[in-house]
Amino acid sequence: MSLKDEMIKMSEGKKRKTKFKRDVEPLDLLQLTENMRIILRVSKRFFDHHQLEFVITSIKSDREGVKTVSTTHEEGRAVDIRSSHLTEDQIKNFLRFCDNQFSHLGAISSKDLKVRACVYHNNHFHLQARRQETLIDKMKFWR
């Protein structure tokens, strides 16, 4: 199924409210890159479609990680999502969904060096987006 068809199917589902872990500042969402916003929006649709609560557990820092392996959170290119209420099958399905539908927006995983939009580690989903060329980068050519 194409991403468009999948999205149409999913948008028919009942929308649920995005929840935040108590110490997460929702306004930090405004600092996310465009690619990250797309990944987040599409991921939310998957959770809505499967009637699962969508809980953001971290935006600006990788607090649940044992050690910080990348700067994706600081750069607004990563968001952590709770997974503890999902079954093993639902976790697998969501990872497959991310790989199929938007791995092209993802970042290189420090785990296996593959480009992924979602990495499952330390019992949460780490959604991550690749760096984006900014307008300034594009203008280098003209300098």
- Binding stretches for Zn ion (CB under 5 A): 62, 78, 80, 126
Write out the two tokens for 28: 């930090």
Give me the least distance between CB of 22 and Zn ion, in Å please: 17
Comparison of 48 and 80: residue with beta carbon closer to Zn ion: 80
- CA–CA separation, 125 vs 143, rounded Å? 41
Give me the least distance between CB of 4 and Zn ion, in Å please: 28
Give me the least distance between CB of 65 and Zn ion, in Å please: 6
Residues 6+ apart with CB under 8 A from 16: 47, 48, 51, 53, 54
DSSP 8-state class, residue 141: G
Residue nearest to Zn ion (CB): 126
Give me the least distance between CB of 62 and Zn ion, in Å please: 4
Write out the two tokens for 91: 């976790």
Comparison of 37 and 49: residue with beta carbon closer to Zn ion: 37
Which residues sit opposite 126 in a β-bridge? 80, 119
- CA–CA separation, 105 vs 129, rounded Å? 6
Comparison of 72 and 101: residue with beta carbon closer to Zn ion: 72
Comparison of 42 and 119: residue with beta carbon closer to Zn ion: 119
Write out the two tokens for 116: 């992924």
CB atoms within 10 A of CB 46: 19
